[in-house]
Amino acid sequence: MRPIDRRCFLKLSAGTLGILALPGGLVSCARGRVGAQGEGLERTVVTSCAHDCGGRCVLVAHLHNGTIARISTDDGSLADTYGVDRPDLPQIRACLRGRSYRNRVYSPHRLKYPMRRIGKRGEGRFVRISWEEAYDRIASEMVRIKEKYGPAAILNMAMAGDTVSLLNELYPFLPWSLPRRFLDLFGSAVHWWDTPCFEGLVFAAGHTLGDLLDGSEADNFLYSKLVVLWGHNPAYTIFGTNTPWYLKLAKERGARFVAVDPIYTDSAAAYGAEWIPIRPATDTAMVLAMIYVIATEGLYDKAFVDRYTLGFDEEHLPKGAPPGSSFKSYLLGLRDGVPKTPQWAESITGVPAARIASFAREFARTKPVALFHGWGPGRVPHGEQFHRAAYTLAVITGNIGVLGAHAAGVGGAFPGTAAIFPPTRPPVKTTVRLSKWADAVLLGEKASPQLIGNFADAPPPNIKMIYVTGFNFLQQTPNIRKNVEAIQKVEFVVCHEQFMNFTGKFADILLPVATHLEADDAATAWTRGHYLIYRHKVIDPLYESRRDLEIFTDLAERLGFKEKFNNHTREEWIKMWVEQVSAQFGVKIDYEDFKRKGVYKFHLPEPAYAWKDQIADPEKHPFPTPSGKVEIYSQQMAEYDWKKTKYGAPIPPIPTYIPPEEGPGTAIAKKYPLQAVTPHWRHRTHSTWDNVPWLRETYTQHVLMSSADARRRGIRTGDVVKVHNDRGATVLPAVVSERIMPGVVAIFEGAWCDLDADGVDHAGSANMLTPDWASPSGAYFLNGFRVEVEKTDLEYRPGWDKESAQREWMQWGAKV
């Protein structure tokens, strides 16, 4: 790499003053910095990460003699604008996880060869076999299982290993994802439907606004006056590479921040947010009480309610809805005798009534408000009610379809998820809840469709094989002990992996997958950000590893459907996709130029924000709901024959507070007085990156607890504790801090599970404790369940910690 010379820098500075009139000289000089494909001994190659990390950033691999010597990121030069980093032309800069990727690629623990299990499932004893033997065994087992057990016998366990990648998408609910297409074309496939990410939101958005994809871009937030982080921590979870940066700029422009969260998060700290601590799984009550204040004090936007919504009050009920069934009647307690006042909400949420009322008034009087109702408070019993209520709050205050306002969904603006493969159709209608996969296996045909989330008129699943692709599902789905029991019951398990993770140990055939740095591909942003990344192959696949696309293609060839599965080279697919995106967005992306630079950035004349057309002209652009309006009351929900749907049980047609399972007053709450939340952690993406020594040096797994709760139990920061409930136990250090409210503890999800002979985990894996109970909507129960914490003599043994030389892990609390 050439050092940046001063002349180059001066030209750049001139250029930044008028970006559209960049001097030509800058272009070549800038490209000399991190050009996509340099020459010689030292060269740089542009790529990006591919995991489900919340962002999608530029990684620049610096190769020395063909080996990655270091990784840097976007500095603007890829778009011929070296050094420029402006709201309309932001750099796409990587976080620590991406920058540490060398550690992951060259880890000595990479899976190197295909392997066959020799020990018991879970023991982790394998022998090396050839790819031929592995393919033979997989193909013959698939054929045998399909012939014997039919089209609903193979469970597609694919997930977050690789997402928003053009040629390696794994998320199974996307019809162009690799494992889904592969199993559909083979003819035996059961796909799950409830994503742990945001299924409550999927239900709420679909039934309130009509679409989950809001299409908002982060520069919209520059215009927000009040930013509400309601269970949202973008300093960790990113939510579109530059979202945290735009929020910082919004702060600099004077926006006020409020965080409603049981934890005083790093986002709350970074943006100087006012913290409103709230008991987990009770947020719906607080939102209802805010709307009560806004409605009874006449603070809502009446014109907005009139023009765009259905069911807010009796006047706006759809035809056919019974009198008294409006949302306002419910708020006033006209039917149940319980007005949803701030006093009512205080007893449920722990938030003082006066604070709820004053926040409601501030919310209604400030415009525009960006309401980030995060996915964490939706990962609770009846989490869809929280999101339905939050949409209602945003809509009745006129905070939707307006610059700077935000009602939260799943971005997806330009150009959305990368897709080029033709979608397939599943061989049967049969489906299951991921949260209930273990019951589907353990109970077999005895499992009722309502329990496992199947349609009443679909054949029952008959799961005898599990096909795992990029999903550490045994520890990432709730109730690990039940999961471990269930996996012993199936006849065959195949797993595509990069490391011997907890799930891999239970595989019969374990296949080594090359990382995304080892093949050409392309990527779009994760939820927000308008750019494309050409993900160049940086190095050849290490050892005998292969990418998922090549593995599935080889297997499809053996099974006789290669032509349908994959009939183009990687480059041909990428080229076709670039043409498709160009046509879709009316831009001319020059393929060779994009390939050479590695990045294409869309230039938007103004920030994109959700529901603009619907608000500007609702007759021409109705909301995509059955009525064309925002459905606070959903006639569709009132009329569903719920037992026949995949939801299995009724959900009320208006946003409603339903007391959560394991809530106050329940028997379980007496036995286990603490509520636990299991949020996403900064230095991992779920369980990915947990084994990277550089990152390990900056943190340790811990349970975060308040000093009041710790003192009562004689616990100090650094003590090893056991966190347990009836479902299981996990051992890890405690960190005592005032940054979490009393009565609540937090264990960040994703630590690599390490079970002893008694089934106790010694590494702080959160799903030892989580219930596999499912809300009808599909909203998980990963936050707000009950636990107890006690000091223990059991050993904390986080396997990978031994590899890090040092760490600073007391960041959350002082040693007391």
Which residues of the shown chain bind ligand SF4 in the complex (CB under 6 A)? 48-49, 53-57, 94-95, 97-98, 238, 241
- Closest residue to ligand SF4, Cβ-based? 98
> Where does this chain bind Mo ion (CB under 5 A)?
197
* Closer to ligand MGD by Cβ: residue 565 or 633: 565
| Binding partner of residue 678 among Mo ion, ligand SF4, ligand MGD, none, CB cut-off 5 to 8 Å per kind | ligand MGD
Q: How far apart are alpha carbons 592 and 337 in whole angstroms?
A: 68
> With CB cut-offs between 5 and 8 Å by kind, which of ligand MGD, ligand SF4, Mo ion, none does residue 161 bind?
ligand MGD
Task: Give the Cα separation of 494 and 490 in Å (integer).
Answer: 11
Nearer to ligand SF4, 241 or 566 (CB): 241
600 binds, among ligand SF4, Mo ion, ligand MGD, none (CB under 5 to 8 A by kind): none
Closest approach of ligand SF4 to the CB of residue 77, in Å: 18
Any idea of the CA torsion for 515, 519, 522, 526, to the nearest 10 degrees?
0
For residue 634, the partner it binds in ligand SF4, ligand MGD, Mo ion, none, with Cβ less than 5 to 8 A by kind, is none
Tokens of 372: 């980030």
Residue 298 exposed, middle or buried by CB count within 10 Å (0-12, 13-18, 19+): exposed
Q: Which does 533 bind (CB under 5 to 8 A by kind): Mo ion, ligand MGD, ligand SF4, none?
A: none
DSSP at 768: G
Q: Tokens for 760?
A: 């106790």
Rounded distance between C-alpha atoms, residue 536 and residue 596, angstroms = 10
Identify the DSSP state of 584.
H
**25 class by beta-carbon count within 10 Å (0-12 exposed, 13-18 middle, 19+ buried):** middle
- Across the strands, what pairs with 226? 256, 369
Name which position in 243, 397, 501, 614 contacts ligand MGD (CB under 6 A): 501
Residue 455 DSSP code: -
Tokens 């100090």 locate to: 716
| Contact present, 689 and 681 (Cβ < 8 Å) | no
Indicate the SS3 state at residue 465: strand
Residues in binding contact with ligand MGD, number by CB under 6 A: 66
Of the residues 49, 281, 389, 420, which one makes contact with ligand MGD according to CB under 6 A: 281
Given candidates 215, 280, 342, 813, which one binds ligand MGD under the rule CB under 6 A?
A: 280
528 binds ligand MGD (CB under 6 A): no
Q: Which is nearer to ligand MGD, 441 or 747 (CB)?
A: 747
409, 307 in Cβ contact below 8 A?
A: no
Query: Does 737 participate in binding ligand MGD (rule CB under 6 A)?
Result: no
Residue 57 touches which of ligand SF4, ligand MGD, Mo ion, none (CB < 5 to 8 A by kind)? Answer: ligand SF4
User: Binds 432, which of Mo ion, ligand SF4, ligand MGD, none (CB < 5 to 8 A, cut-off by type)?
Assistant: none
SS3 6: helix
Instruction: Tell whether residue 359 is a contact of ligand MGD (CB under 6 A).
Output: no
> In degrees, to the nearest 5, what angle opens at C-alpha 329 toward C-alphas 325 and 331?
120
- Provide, for the chain, the percentages of residues in helix, strand and coil under a 3-state DSSP scheme, each rounded to the nearest 5: 35, 15, 50
**Which part of the chain contacts ligand MGD (CB under 6 A), choosing from 77-85, 406-414, 641-649, 782-790?**
782-790
| Rounded (10°) CA dihedral 148, 153, 154, 157 | -160
Does 177 bind ligand MGD (CB under 6 A)? Our answer is no
CA distance 106 to 109: 8
CA distance 810 to 160: 30
Taking the complex as a whole, the smallest distance from the CB of residue 158 to ligand MGD amounts, in Å, to 8
Instruction: Report the partner that residue 530 touches, choosing among Mo ion, ligand SF4, ligand MGD, none (CB closer than 5 to 8 A by kind).
Output: none
Task: Name which of Mo ion, ligand MGD, ligand SF4, none residue 763 binds, using a CB cut-off of 5 to 8 Å depending on partner kind.
Answer: none
Contact residues for ligand MGD (CB under 6 A)?
51-54, 159-162, 168, 196-197, 230-233, 236-238, 260-263, 265, 278, 280-281, 283, 374-377, 379-380, 469-473, 476, 496-499, 501, 513, 516, 548, 677-682, 684-688, 749-750, 766-767, 770, 782-784
